[in-house]
Amino acid sequence: MSTQTVRPSSSGESAKRRGQAVAGALTGVAIVVVLAVVFFVVRNNDDNDKTPVAGSAPAASQPAAAPTEAAAPTAEAPTAPAQPSAADVNTPAALSKEPDVKAGKGKLTKLAVTVLVPGTGPAVAKGQTVTANYKLISYSTGEVLDSSWSRGEPFTTQIGVGAVIQGWDQGVLGQKVGSRVQLDVPEALAYPGKGDLRFVVDILAAQ
């Protein structure tokens, strides 16, 4: 009796190959998905490790140690000028009494400086702090408008830097300490609306 070998049909072999291909593709997709999940989990854990705990500040934001020396003042915020002490103010006998100031005549067109009592001290330099007594009147009427004498204490200011009216900046600058000077100041170098003014200024100290 002869033996016959039974061969699978060609259609059966094709179906088998298609099944194997599909299985291989599905396996590849599964591997890609697993790798993506692993990458995401690892990256998320790294981010959590970098996140600061609530209530704690990053090391970079911690304040530096306090400086041992005070910072120097900047040009934008200069310190106030030093105030002369009582020892720096030596009032000459000629300046110990309040002056009697009279009105002027006419209309002022420019600053006029008259030395009433010459001083023997150094000349006032730009930027120095000056201590002075003064009496201010209206140039035309003689009415007293202000006086350090009535307040019982001298006036202190810087000169030549715009801290006071131009009449003072220009008139006191260069005068010697110990002088009594009369400043006839036109309105343009004084206060708008106040008219021409007359100051008598006793320069007591400059530093």
Per-residue pLDDT of the chain in tens (207 residues, 90 and over written 9): 444 444 444 455 555 566 666 566 666 666 766 666 556 555 655 555 544 344 444 333 333 333 333 332 222 333 333 444 444 566 788 899 999 999 999 999 999 999 999 999 999 999 999 999 999 999 999 999 999 999 999 999 999 999 999 999 999 999 999 999 999 999 999 999 999 999 999 999 999
* Separation between Cα atoms, residue 147 and residue 133, nearest integer Å: 8
Pair of tokens at residue 185: 């100041």
Which residue, among 94, 95, 173, 190, has the nearest Cα to 139 in the 3D structure?
190
Structural domain for 19, as ranges: 12-50
Q: Where residue 106 sits, what CATH number does that domain have?
A: 3.10.50.40
* CB-based contact 184:158 (threshold 8 Å): no
For residue 106, the model assigns a pLDDT of: 95
**H helix count then E strand count, the chain:** 3, 6
In a domain, 83, yes or no: no
For residue 115, the model assigns a pLDDT of: 98
Q: What is the DSSP letter of 198?
A: E
Say if residue 142 is in the same domain as residue 198: yes
Residue 139 C-beta-side C-alpha neighbours within 13 Å: 23
User: Domains in the chain: how many in total?
Assistant: 2
Q: Which residue has the tokens 């088998």?
A: 16
For residue 64, the model assigns a pLDDT of: 33
Say if residue 19 is in the same domain as residue 111: no
Say if residue 158 is in the same domain as residue 95: yes
For residue 48, the model assigns a pLDDT of: 52
For residue 146, the model assigns a pLDDT of: 96
Q: What is the pTM of this model?
A: 0.58
Say if residue 191 is in the same domain as residue 123: yes
Residues paired with 156 in a beta bridge:
131
Say if residue 100 is in the same domain as residue 192: yes
Sign of torsion, CA 88 93 97 99? Answer: negative
In a domain, 76, yes or no: no
Which helix (DSSP H) or strand (DSSP E) does residue 10 occupy? helix 10-50
* CB-based contact 127:195 (threshold 8 Å): no
In a domain, 55, yes or no: no
* Separation between Cα atoms, residue 71 and residue 55, nearest integer Å: 32
